[in-house]
Amino acid sequence: MEIVILPSAAEVGRVAASVVAEVVVRKPEAVLGLATGSSPLAIYEELARRADAGELDFSRVRGFALDEYVGLDYGHPESYHAVIDRTVTRPLGLAPALVAVPDGFAADLAAACAAYEAAIDAAGGIDVQILGIGGNGHIGFNEPTSSLASRTRIKTLTPKTREDNARFFDSPEAVPTHCVTQGLGTILRARRLVLVAQGENKAEAIAAAVEGPLSASCPASVLQLHEHATVIIDEAAASRL
Ligand code: GLP
């Protein structure tokens, strides 16, 4: 695993964006794995700036989001369908038909999860997966105790994650209780992983992921199993290393 420690959160976004940009320049029809949350926003902003400047063309790029809440209306600004559209698809200029987000409303959620895995495979697999990390070490919505080999499936959100994400909703009770997420095994199949984290509140999770044992109690520790994983963090997030 490659660890890159940078002086500021802005630098984290810039350096991580250049990793993604290299992939897209080399392969204009690249398949990107897209994370939500605040951590990757600076990556998307930098990529959008470079697309606006004519340096990058995302029109043939495909995207697969990591996760979605179950039963949260896609019109809700915090549904990941809405977040991906607002922060990635539109600003970077991806074709909406080429961007997929897990289905949080399917009558048969298990079948929809299997179809999502099949769609990733049919696209040729993910070239570069962008990741944030939760305060408890989750990636996507793979909460502690997630199977290291898991695939896209329904999960119950932990109280800690619901509390962390309550700031995006009108009340803590309004945070959905379930989600659909790519599994740790799905994430490990991406050809390249880029995890970003900024701030002291991520320092413990980063230390567990990078220096701790490989363990389902810190789902991000699966990055230790990947042959091409890069962790790009600021000094505050690196403060427990
Ligand atoms: C959410 C997302 C994750 C994200 C994490 C951290 O729960 N499902 O993909 O990495 O939270 O979010 P943030 O980057 O806002 O700290």
Q: Ligand 1 pocket, 134 CB below 6 A? A: yes
Q: Say yes or no: CB of residue 70 within 6 Å of ligand 1.
A: no
Query: CATH fold of 2-234, please?
Result: Rossmann fold (3.40.50)
Is a pLDDT exceeding 90 seen at residue 160?
Answer: no
112 pLDDT exceeds 90? yes
Based on C-alpha coordinates, what's the Rg of the chain?
Answer: 16
Query: Is the CB of residue 180 less than 8 Å from the CB of residue 103?
Result: yes
ipTM of the complex: 0.94
Quick check: CB of 13 below 6 Å from ligand 1? no
Section 192-205 average pLDDT: 98
Q: Which atom of ligand 1 is nearest to the CA of 181?
A: 8
Report d(CA 71, CA 12) in Å as an integer: 33
Q: Report the catalytic residues.
A: 67, 136, 138, 143
Asked if residue 139 lies in contact with residue 130, where contact means CB atoms within 8 angstroms, the answer is: no
- Of the given ranges (20-24, 112-116, 163-167, 174-178), which has the lowest mean pLDDT? 163-167
Q: Which two tokens stand for residue 153?
A: 């499936």
CB 140 near ligand 1, within 6 Å: yes
Name the least confident of 73-77, 164-168, 173-177. 164-168
Q: From the CB of 36, is ligand 1 less than 6 Å away?
A: yes
- Residue 164: per-residue pLDDT: 87
Tell me the best of 69, 130, 164 to mutate to test the pocket of ligand 1, counting ligand atoms within 8 Å of each CB and taking the most: 164
Cβ neighbours of residue 134 under 8 Å, at least 6 residues apart?
143, 160, 161, 164, 205
50 contacts: CB under 8 Å, gap ≥ 6: 17, 21, 56
Determine whether the shortest distance from the Cβ of 141 to ligand 1 is under 6 A: yes
Which atom of ligand 1 has the smallest separation from the CA of 165? Answer: 7
Which among 64, 38, 58, 29 is positioned nearest to 190, based on CA atoms? 64
CB of 161 sitting under 6 A from ligand 1: yes
Q: How far is the CA of 194 from the centre of ligand 1 (A)?
A: 14
Average pLDDT, the chain: 97
In the block, which residue shows the tokens 């490659």? 2
Where do the structural domains in the chain lie, given as residue ranges? 2-234
Q: Which of 12, 39, 180 to mutate to test the pocket of ligand 1 (most atoms within 8 A of CB)?
A: 39
Atom of ligand 1 nearest to the CA of 202: 16
